[in-house]
């Protein structure tokens, strides 16, 4: 394999950089800014036309994070930081409830629609504030970010503070998602604060994942376990989300790389390896949405679909694994997922990527954005991979 192998760095740099700067960021800048009411309109049809005006708060945080990060690390383009501020203004004005928690969706003019039990509006607000602070030197934003991070840690560690989905007396549970997001948010927040609380929670979250969610008997990270890592042999307890696991893997691998921590590196690589095995669709290619840890049939309706974001996370994870290990295995995995994703997801006519494909790559819905898809996983992939290869 080795003698034939050639990793074409320049090819990938070009694809990721040009995709980011000439396709994806311009698509959202052109179509999503709500100049009349503030914030962004993210529910977009294939051509960028608006199909609904309700506003998802967490996608606002994600776009502010993206634009601020590009401003700091790529180029000090006025349009980027002005648009980040445009989003942050809307968030500060309309995204918080009187109890300090954040809404999930608001109307076009900022009236509250839904507040959920999840803390993802908060976590992406922290990332937005941290990145904006780094880009502009706004110390107040950094302080707000740290304060909100401490609140999220309190919310998620105070039993009963967030209403649980399932009765905690019958089936106490913890989710992978909260641990993952604290790692990623901590990594962003650390750029504007040296409060040791941040690294403490990154470390604690990684420890939780290793101790409670990683299961050698399944060679997988689970999505939901008991407080001491108990495996629940239920539909939810067995449900694997390979794209999510791969994302957790690269967050941990990234932490290992940044802090030169060999244990984190090995843990991240193991998680990526395990979840790639579960996720890669040997029949059609691409990363599948759900699997069952005991290989029983899944029942969630979109289980065998190909969403955009698991492909984005797998492209980052395999490239980062190659970067850290120089093991050609990862370069080949990267090529494999890159080629599959680029065959089916890009919209060659209107730009950006489709989000929701059937298992075999056919388009299920052509929308470019909704309450879940916006300018985040794809542009983060393009940015992260480009920077890694540069």
Least Å distance between CB 124 and a second copy?
Answer: 20
| Coil, strand or helix at 224 | strand
Residues 167, 194, 282, 348: which binds a second copy (CB under 8 A)? 167
* The one segment of 153-161, 209-217, 316-324, 361-369 that binds a second copy by CB under 8 A: 361-369
Residue nearer to a second copy on the CB measure, 44 or 319 = 44
Residue nearer to a second copy on the CB measure, 74 or 364 = 364
Residue nearer to a second copy on the CB measure, 178 or 288 = 288
Look up tokens 């193991």; give the residue: 270
Other beta carbons within 10 angstroms of residue 284's beta carbon come to: 15
* The one segment of 31-39, 112-120, 132-140, 322-330 that binds a second copy by CB under 8 A: 112-120
Beta bridge partners of 220: 215
Binding status of residue 92 toward a second copy by CB under 8 A: no
Q: 10-49 mask for a second copy (x: CB under 8 A)?
A: ---------------------------------x-xx---
Of residues 200-259, which lie at the interface with a second copy (CB under 8 A)?
A: 233-235
Name the residue among 344, 380, 378, 349 with its Cα closest to residue 364.
344
Size of the site for a second copy (CB under 8 A): 39
Name the residue among 376, 378, 309, 388 with its Cα closest to residue 128.
376
Residue nearer to a second copy on the CB measure, 258 or 296 = 296
Q: Are strands 306-307 and 224-225 parallel, antiparallel or unpaired?
A: unpaired
DSSP 212: I
Residues 298, 333, 382, 385: which binds a second copy (CB under 8 A)? 298
The encoded tokens of residue 173 equal 């549970």
DSSP 25: H
The C-alpha atoms of residue 356 and residue 306 are separated, in whole angstroms, by 6
* The one segment of 66-74, 86-94, 278-286, 303-311 that binds a second copy by CB under 8 A: 303-311
Binding status of residue 350 toward a second copy by CB under 8 A: no
Give the angle subtended at the CA of 172 by the CAs of 170 and 175, to the nearest 5°: 145
φ, ψ of residue 354 to 5 degrees: the values are -65, 160
From the number of C-beta atoms within 10 Å of its C-beta (0-12, 13-18, 19+), residue 257 rates as middle
Residues 370, 375, 377, 378: which binds a second copy (CB under 8 A)? 370
Report the interface residues with a second copy, using CB under 8 A. 43, 45-46, 51-54, 107, 111-115, 165-167, 169-171, 233-235, 296-299, 301-305, 356, 358, 364-367, 370-371
């Amino acid at each position: 394999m080795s003698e034939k192998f050639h990793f074409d760095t320049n090819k990938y740099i070009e694809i990721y950089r040009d995709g980011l700067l000439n396709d994806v960021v311009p698509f959202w800048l052109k179509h999503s800014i709500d100049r009349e009411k503030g914030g962004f309109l993210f529910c977009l049809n294939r051509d960028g036309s608006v199909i609904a005006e309700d506003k998802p708060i967490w996608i606002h945080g994600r776009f502010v994070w993206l634009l601020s990060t590009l401003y700091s690390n790529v180029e000090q383009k006025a349009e980027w930081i002005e648009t980040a501020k445009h989003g942050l203004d809307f968030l500060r004005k309309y995204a918080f409830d009187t109890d300090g928690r954040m809404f999930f969706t608001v109307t076009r003019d900022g009236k509250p629609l839904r507040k959920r039990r999840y803390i993802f509006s908060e976590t992406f607000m922290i990332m937005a504030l941290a990145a904006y602070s780094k880009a502009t030197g706004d110390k107040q934003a950094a302080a707000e970010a740290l304060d909100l991070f401490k609140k999220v840690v309190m919310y998620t560690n105070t039993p009963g503070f967030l209403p649980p989905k399932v009765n905690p007396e019958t089936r106490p549970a913890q989710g992978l998602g909260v641990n993952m997001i604290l790692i990623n948010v901590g990594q962003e927040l650390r750029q504007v604060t040296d409060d040791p609380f941040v690294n403490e929670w990154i470390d604690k979250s990684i420890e939780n994942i290793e101790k409670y969610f990683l299961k050698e008997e399944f060679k997988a990270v689970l999505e939901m376990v008991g407080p001491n890592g108990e495996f629940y042999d239920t539909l939810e307890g067995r449900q694997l989300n390979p794209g999510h696991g791969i994302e957790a893997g690269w967050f941990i691998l990234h932490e290992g790389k940044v802090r030169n921590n060999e244990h984190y590196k090995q843990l991240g690589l193991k998680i990526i390896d395990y979840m790639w095995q579960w996720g890669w669709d040997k029949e059609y290619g691409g990363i599948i949405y759900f699997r069952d840890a005991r290989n029983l049939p899944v029942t969630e309706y979109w289980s065998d679909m190909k969403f955009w974001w698991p492909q984005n996370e797998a492209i980052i994870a395999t490239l980062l694994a190659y970067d850290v290990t120089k093991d050609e295995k990862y370069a080949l995995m990267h090529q494999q997922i890159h080629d599959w994703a680029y065959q089916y997801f890009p919209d060659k006519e209107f730009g950006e990527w489709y989000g929701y494909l059937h298992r075999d790559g056919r388009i299920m819905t052509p929308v470019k954005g909704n309450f879940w898809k916006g300018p985040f996983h794809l542009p983060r992939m393009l940015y992260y991979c480009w920077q890694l290869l540069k």
